[in-house]
Amino acid sequence: MTDEELMSIAAQLKGPHGAKGIDMAAMMHETNIGMTLSAIESLAIADHDTILELGHGNAGHLSHILDKHPSVQYHGLETSTLMHDEAKSSNQAYTVRGRATFYLYDGMDVPFEENTFDKIFTVNTLYFWVKPVELLSSLYRILKPGGKLSITFAQRSFMETLPFTRFGFELYDTEKAKTLVAQTAFVIVGVRSKTEKVKNKMGELVDREYTTLTVTKL
């Protein structure tokens, strides 16, 4: 592919938009469902939890949370207007009952009050955080004491094999992610890595190693 084509893919992954955005979101949901479920599992969701997700995409995974936990409240934050609209449209069964609410934000300023959420999670957004320390500090502020934040990301060793990650991706391995967290008040309570088979652009199965880093607010 040309650099222009690779830059277009990178831009769609960062924030799906336009005619190709819906297809990109569907592909991301399918490709990332294992990572998403791993992140959800790491939260140990309890009855009546209030949950926030950063970068939910089309939120096709919402049933895995809300059907299993009927008393849980879900809130989603997105930088992509298209994904915000898609998530609301495809999850009306939850939004009309007040069980799911979706918001747009700028990727930096988190629009919630202190001590609002029991659990927060995010999958494959870490690469795009413009000010990661500041964003983590904002998440710390809105998390309740004793609450958990789980950050799931593909390891640098895998991401470096993808040609489009040269354009606008900040890549992480476990140690770099830990170093980032150490600059905040969060305390690491879990690090879990898995390897799964995913299809590359050529339709070939390749190994993707990813990690879920779980932290807490004391």
The pLDDT value given to residue 149: 98
Q: In what order do the strands lie in the sheet with 205-216?
A: 100-104, 73-78, 50-54, 117-123, 143-154, 205-216, 187-199
- For helices 174-182 and 132-142, give the axis angle rounded to 10 degrees: 60
**Cβ within 8 Å of residue 68, ≥6 positions away:** 45
Domain edges within the chain: 3-216
If you average pLDDT over every residue of the chain, what do you get?
A: 95
Structure tokens given for 50: 């209030």
Predicted pLDDT of residue 199: 81
Question: Is pLDDT above 90 for 1?
Answer: no
| CATH, range 3-216 | 3.40.50.150
Arithmetic mean of pLDDT, 148-155: 98
146 touches 117 (CB < 8 A): no
24 has pLDDT over 90? no
Task: Output the pTM of the full model.
Answer: 0.96
Give the list of residues 6+ apart from residue 213 with CB closer than 8 angstroms, or none: 150, 151, 152, 153, 174, 177, 178, 181, 188, 190, 191
* pLDDT tens per residue across span 170-208: 999 999 999 999 999 999 999 999 999 998 766 789 999
